[in-house]
Amino acid sequence: MRPIILTVDDSKGLRLFIEKALGAFDCDVHEATNGYNAFFAIERARPDLILLDVSMPVMAGVETLTRLKAAPELTAIPVIMLTSPADHAVMAQLTALGASGTLMKPFKEAALMEKIRGVLDLKPAKPAKPA
């Protein structure tokens, strides 16, 4: 079964960047624009990994992470927090809440893939069969 990665970020550009970076791998990428919408996405398809922005409208990353880790059926899902230099004050809290790691924005594709591979075994996408 293909792993499912959920990207939760209010930046469409960042969600597209992540989707493109993961395009070479055998996985499904889902997205949500904030923490509130993330829970609907989780209901539709239980992800194997969540990439979660700290700063978002409606429901920010810290609250989303808190709710994820408080739900027994969701607590085992690894969460990599996408942070900015302005999020320095919450870094210790993210670790205490159970984040699997953090990735400082802006980041390069190689740094993203290194973090993801630290928690999820991704396989290269299979080439399309000739017709």
CATH of the domain at 64: 3.40.50.2300
Judge whether 40 lies within some domain: yes
Judge whether 123 lies within some domain: no
Judge whether 130 lies within some domain: no
Taking the C-alpha atoms of residue 94 and residue 116, their distance in angstroms, rounded to an integer, is 17
pTM over 0.85: yes
Judge whether 18 lies within some domain: yes
Judge whether 127 lies within some domain: no
The proportion of the chain whose per-residue pLDDT surpasses 90, expressed as a percent, equals: 79
Judge whether 131 lies within some domain: no
Q: Dump pLDDT digits (tens) for 55-93.
A: 988 889 999 999 999 999 999 999 999 998 888 888 889
The predicted model gives 118-125 an average pLDDT of 90
Listing DSSP states for 30-90 in one string gives EEESSHHHHHHHHHHS--SEEEEESS-SSS-HHHHHHHHHHSTTTTTS-EEEEE-GGGGGG
Taking the C-alpha atoms of residue 6 and residue 29, their distance in angstroms, rounded to an integer, is 6
Q: What is the span of the domain harbouring residue 12?
A: 4-117
Judge whether 122 lies within some domain: no
Taking the C-alpha atoms of residue 32 and residue 66, their distance in angstroms, rounded to an integer, is 17
If one counts the domains in the chain, the total is 1
pLDDT band at 30 (very low <50, low <70, confident <90, very high): very high
Judge whether 95 lies within some domain: yes
